[in-house]
Amino acid sequence: MEQWLFGTRWLARRLGFDLACNPTIVFIAIALLSKPLSMLSLGDEQAKSLGVPVLSLRLAGLVLAAFLCASVVSMVGMMGFAGLAAAAASKHLGLHNFKTQSMVAFAIGALLLLLTDTVLQILALHTGWLLSTGAVTAFIGAPLLLWLIFRALPTPLVQDYKDYVHITPFNRPTIFIMMVLAVTVLLISLWVTQDAYGWYINLDKDAWLLRYPRLLMSAAAGIMLATAGVILQRMTLNPMASPELLGISAGTAAGVFIALLLGISSSGYLWMCGVGSAIATLTIILLFNRNSGLQPERILLTGMAIAALFDALINVFLAVGDPRAQSVLVWLSGSTYQATPLLANGLIGIALLLLILSLPLARCLGLLSLNPIMAQSLGLNVPLTQKILVVLAAILTALSTLMLGPMCFVGLWAPHLAKILGFHKPLHQLMAAATIAVIAMVFADWLGRQIVYPYEIPAGLMATLLGGAYFFRLMRKT
C-alpha cells in the first residue's frame, strides 16, 4: 500500500503537479463542492430534487478524501485517528454546514497533531524516547471520541436486525455438504503436506502427533469466535458486530503484550496476565454502562474506544524499536505453533463446553432479535440477559485471543455465511457458524503452513485474508 502511495506521488511530480506537498488544487475543489456536499445532509431524494448529482458527487468526494489521506500517509505516516476525532468534535459543536464544519475540523486536527508532536519532541529531548505521533494521537483521541459520542447519542445507533428473507431455509443437503467439507478439511490438514520434492500424503504417526494439536487449537478458536459473533450480532441487532468491537480482544492482547515487555515468557503466566487484563477490560465496560441499562450500542462504542486505546498503546511500544517487540508481533499475527497436545485437548474441550452452554440462550437471542421492548413484554429479563451474554462473549473472545492473538475477523463473517446458507434461527445459526468457523480456521492453518513452504503464514492472519476476500465478494454482490 505504501509503495503504491509513494508511486502516486512520484507520478504526480513527473507530471508537474506536486500535489502531495501542495494540495492547493484539492482544497480549491473541496471549496467548490462545499455547497453540494452540504445538500447531501438533506438525504438522497431531497438532494436529487435540488439538482445535485448524488452518485457523481460522492465519487468526487471519495477521490478527494483518498488523495488527501494518501498525501498525509506518504509524507508523515498513519495519522487517521486525528481526522476521526476532529470531525466528531466539530460536529459536536453544533456545526451542520459542511463549509464551517470542515474549517473547524481542519483547525482542531491541526492543533491536536501540533500539540502531540510538540510534547513528544520535548519528551524525546529530555528522555530519549522516540514515540510515534500517530500512535500517541490515537491514545489521546480515543477517550475524547468516546466522550463526544456518548454526549451526542440520544437514540440507538444500530438498526433492526434484518433476516435474509429472500434466502430459503437450510435443508438436509446443506447440512450434509457442511459435514463432508468439515471431515475433508480435517483429513487434509492431518495428512496432506509437501516438501522439497512436492506434494504427498504423510501417514506417519509422528507427523500426526505434531499436527493434530494445531488442528484442535484452530478449531477451538473458530468455535469460540463464531459463538461470540452470533451472540453479539443478535444481542446488539447489528449484523456488523464482531468480537473485536467488544474491546476484550484488545484488552487481552494488551495484557499479554505488557507481560512480554516485562520479561515474562512462561505460557502459564502469560495466560494469567491475559485473563486478568480481559477481566479488567470487562469490568471497565460494565462500569461505563451501568447507568445506561447496558444498551448494546453503548457497549460497542465503549469497546471500540477501549480497543483504540490498547491498540495505540501497543503501537507506541512497537514504534520504539524494542527488540522484544518481535515476539509480540509473532503472537499478534495469530500463529498456532505453540500448540501442545495437553493445551489443545483442554482448549477444544472448553470451546465445546462453552458452545453447549450457549445453546440454551438461543431462545433469549431470538427474543432480543425482535427488539428489547418486545422481549421484555414477552417475559424476558432483558438487563440480566444482556449482562450474561456480554460476559459469555467476553470469555469466548478472551480465550480465543489468548490462543491465536487478536485475530477475530472470523467471528464477523462466519455468522454472516451461516445466515446466507439459510440458518436463520439462533440455535441453528450457532451450530452452523461454529461449523463454518472450524472449517475456515483449520483450512487457514493448513494453507498457511503450505502456501509459502518452507515458510509459514499464521492461521489467524490467513483466516483474516480469506475472510476479507469473502467480504469483498459479498459487497460486490450487494
- Give 381 or 131, the one with higher predicted confidence: 381
Closest alpha carbon to 351 in 435, 420, 443: 435
pLDDT at 27: 78
Closest alpha carbon to 243 in 117, 406, 111: 406
pLDDT at 148: 59
pLDDT at 459: 76
272-298 pLDDT, tens digit each: 887 788 888 878 777 777 666 566 667
Burial of 388 (0-12, 13-18, 19+ CB in 10 A): middle
Query: Which residues, listed in sequence order, are joined to residue 200 by a DSSP beta bridge?
Result: 193
pLDDT at 168: 58
* Band of residue 250 on the pLDDT scale cut at 50, 70, 90: confident
Asked if residue 364 has pLDDT above 70, the reply is: yes
Asked if residue 395 has pLDDT above 80, the reply is: yes
In this prediction the pTM is 0.74
Select the highest-mean-pLDDT range: 24-28, 71-75, 386-390, 428-432: 428-432
89-103, 120-134, 139-153, 416-430: lowest mean pLDDT where?
139-153
pLDDT at 146: 64
Q: Is the dihedral of CA 40, 42, 43, 46 positive or negative?
A: negative
Mean pLDDT of 14-30: 60
69-83, 113-127, 352-366, 433-447: lowest mean pLDDT where?
69-83
* Band of residue 16 on the pLDDT scale cut at 50, 70, 90: very low
Asked if residue 353 has pLDDT above 90, the reply is: yes
- What mean pLDDT, rounded, does the chain reach? 75
pLDDT at 20: 44
Distance CA 272, CA 393 (A): 19
* Band of residue 163 on the pLDDT scale cut at 50, 70, 90: very low
48-95 pLDDT, tens digit each: 777 778 788 888 888 888 888 777 777 766 665 677 777 777 777 777
H helix and E strand count, the chain: 21, 2
* Band of residue 4 on the pLDDT scale cut at 50, 70, 90: very low
Q: What b/e string do you get for 120-157 counting C-beta neighbours within 10 Å, with b at 16 or more?
A: beeeeeeeeeebbbbbbbbbbbbebbbebbeeeeeebe
pLDDT at 31: 79
Asked if residue 341 has pLDDT above 90, the reply is: no
